[in-house]
């Protein structure tokens, strides 16, 4: 069989996706495997078992990133693929998991065809991509590329108070390899779009050329608890009202700025959180994103002005703490072009696009030529158990990954 005719085994890919989705399964067909929990450990153990069954050389680094290496004809820098297998609390079964398991499927397809590539191939999964339990997101890949000190990462506190380094050791994934092992020649990540574009346009493949900037902040509003019945409105210092005002402002700011600006208040905790007590304290998060760095900075500045006025008007204090701040990323034009050429050669519709979500690829792009392959999310739903991608699209994405990796690993010209 010529390399061009090579295709992955869809049923084998779907079987692994289903098996991994059973780990931390939640109602509605999704998964909950928050980073470094026992369910994350079970998911890791399963994928590492698959890596070993494929005779990959498995290495685990000090932040728990896991790499499976398939030898090439040479010892040249490897071509790497991968993603994450940690999820949000209401995760779907494809977010991250598809990129890792399609990578394994590609390697097994090459084994079946007795193909040895010039460069080694590596499939990776990175620790705590979601950042939902331990901020920032993409923490593992950020440490891997050297832009977050290991010691600082190990001391990160979870939203439940746990220390990252303690949890990593507890689940047995505090590896011995130094972050940065297997410096890649190139990195390609297959991922579901998690947005509505491909599905709405009926396009199969997204060749992702850029990814928007991310600003995560935690706000702590301190007011004064008081009686909900006896306290006149003019005497209130209501942290609950202030939190709601921030959520309303963030929505209004995004609408007013337009373009790619988005804003989300996804987490609000009130204290004492009781029906007849004016909240003394509110802890909330603000997620702002924009493909344009200057506009993202403008959104942050306008929020800061709003918070200062709100604090003064309501007689509360508002402390802010940055949880993550990543500038927009442009992916490698050569790798993007290769993805498009492969999609065309497979007869698949494709289009260039921006990623609204953060991904490990945005960190790998700091150290090597990197790009992403998207497949459609039905109705753009993600971070939701109802997240779905059609089987034909899952297979199409994995075949584009197969031939993109093959071309990069053999340094073949783009045709
Ligand atoms: O937040 C994100 O965009 C990603 O899901 N970690
Ligand atoms: Mn993801
Ligand atoms: Mn996600």
Give residue-wise pLDDT tens across range 268-316.
Answer: 999 999 999 999 999 999 999 999 999 999 999 999 999 999 999 999 9
Ligand 3 center from residue 126 Cα (angstroms): 13
- Residue 25 CB coordination number (10 Å): 16
Read off the pLDDT of residues 351-369 as tens digits, 9 standing for 90 and up.
999 999 999 999 999 999 9
* Atom number in ligand 1 closest to CA 88: 5
Would you say the CB of residue 358 lies under 6 angstroms from ligand 1?
Answer: yes
User: What dotted CATH number matches 3-211+328-409?
Assistant: 3.40.630.10
Shortest-distance Cα residue to atom 5 of ligand 1: 130
CA–CA distance, 6 with 211 (Å, rounded to integer): 30
Alpha carbon 48 to its chain's center: 20
Reported confidence tier of residue 2, pLDDT bands at 50, 70, 90: low
Instruction: Please answer whether residues 99 and 398 qualify as being in contact, where contact means their C-beta atoms are separated by less than 8 angstroms.
Output: no
Q: Which ligand sits closest to the CA of 266?
A: 1
* Atom number in ligand 1 closest to CA 138: 6
Helix (H) or strand (E) holding 270: strand 268-271
Average pLDDT of the segment spanning 20-47? 98
Is the model's pLDDT at 1 over the cut of 90? Answer: no
Contacts of 299 (CB under 8 A, 6+ apart): 215, 253, 254, 257, 261, 263, 288, 290
* Atom number in ligand 1 closest to CA 194: 5
What pLDDT sits at residue 363? 98
What pLDDT sits at residue 4? 79
CA–CA distance, 210 with 220 (Å, rounded to integer): 33
Ligand 3 center from residue 211 Cα (angstroms): 14
CA quadruple 97, 103, 108, 113: dihedral, nearest 10: 140
**Which two three-digit tokens encode residue 386?**
């109802």
Read off the pLDDT of residues 222-267 as tens digits, 9 standing for 90 and up.
999 999 999 999 999 999 999 999 999 999 999 999 999 999 999 9
Answer CATH for 213-326 from 3.40.50.300, 3.10.20.90, 3.30.70.360, 1.20.1240.10: 3.30.70.360
Would you say the CB of residue 137 lies under 6 angstroms from ligand 1?
Answer: yes
Instruction: Please answer whether residues 66 and 47 qualify as being in contact, where contact means their C-beta atoms are separated by less than 8 angstroms.
Output: yes
Ligand 1 center from residue 245 Cα (angstroms): 25
Read off the pLDDT of residues 157-198 as tens digits, 9 standing for 90 and up.
999 999 999 999 999 999 999 999 999 999 999 999 999 999
Q: Which ligand sits closest to the CA of 128?
A: 1
Ligand 1 center from residue 312 Cα (angstroms): 33
* Atom number in ligand 1 closest to CA 137: 6
Read off the pLDDT of residues 112-138 as tens digits, 9 standing for 90 and up.
999 999 999 999 999 999 999 999 999
Domain locations in the chain as residue ranges: 3-211+328-409, 213-326
Nearest by Cα to 164 from 71, 57, 64:
64
- DSSP lists the bridge partners of residue 242 as none
């Amino acid at each position: 069989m010529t390399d061009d005719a090579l295709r992955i085994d869809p049923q084998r890919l779907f079987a692994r996706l289903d098996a991994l989705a059973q780990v931390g399964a939640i109602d509605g067909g999704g998964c909950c495997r928050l980073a470094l929990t026992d369910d994350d450990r079970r998911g890791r153990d399963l994928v590492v078992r698959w890596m070993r069954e494929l005779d990959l050389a498995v290495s685990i680094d000090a932040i728990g990133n896991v790499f499976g290496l398939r030898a090439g004809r040479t010892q040249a820098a490897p071509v790497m693929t991968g993603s994450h297998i940690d999820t949000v609390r209401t995760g779907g079964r494809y977010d991250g998991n598809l990129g890792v398991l399609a990578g394994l499927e590609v390697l097994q397809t090459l084994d079946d065809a007795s193909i040895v590539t010039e460069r080694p191939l590596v499939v990776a999964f990175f620790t705590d991509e979601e950042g939902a339990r331990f901020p920032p997101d993409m923490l593992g890949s950020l440490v891997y590329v050297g832009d977050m000190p290991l010691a600082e990462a190990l001391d990160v506190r979870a939203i439940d108070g746990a220390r990252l380094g303690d949890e990593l050791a507890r689940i047995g994934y505090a590896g011995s390899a130094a972050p940065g092992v297997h410096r890649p020649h190139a990195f390609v990540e297959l991922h579901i779009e998690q947005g509505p574009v491909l599905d709405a346009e009926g396009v199969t493949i997204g060749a992702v050329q850029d990814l928007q900037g991310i600003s995560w902040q935690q706000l702590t509003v301190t007011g004064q608890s008081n009686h909900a019945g006896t306290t006149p409105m003019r005497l209130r210092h209501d942290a609950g009202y202030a939190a709601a005002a921030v959520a309303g402002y963030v929505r209004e700011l995004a609408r007013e700025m337009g373009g790619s600006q988005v804003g989300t208040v996804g987490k609000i905790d009130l204290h004492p959180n009781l029906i007849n007590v004016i909240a003394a304290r509110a802890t909330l998060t603000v997620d702002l994103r924009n493909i344009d760095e200057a506009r993202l900075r403008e959104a942050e500045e306008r929020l800061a002005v709003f918070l200062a006025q709100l604090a003064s008007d309501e007689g509360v204090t508002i402390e802010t703490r940055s949880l993550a701040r990543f500038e927009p990323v442009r992916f490698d034009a050569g790798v993007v072009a290769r993805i498009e050429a492969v999609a065309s050669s497979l007869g698949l519709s494709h289009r260039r696009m921006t990623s609204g979500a953060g991904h490990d690829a945005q960190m790998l792009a700091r150290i090597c030529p990197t790009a992403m392959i998207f497949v459609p999310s039905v109705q753009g739903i993600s971070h939701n158990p109802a997240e779905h991608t059609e089987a034909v699209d899952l297979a199409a994405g994995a075949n584009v990954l197969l031939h993109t990796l093959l071309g990069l690993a053999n340094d073949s010209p783009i045709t």
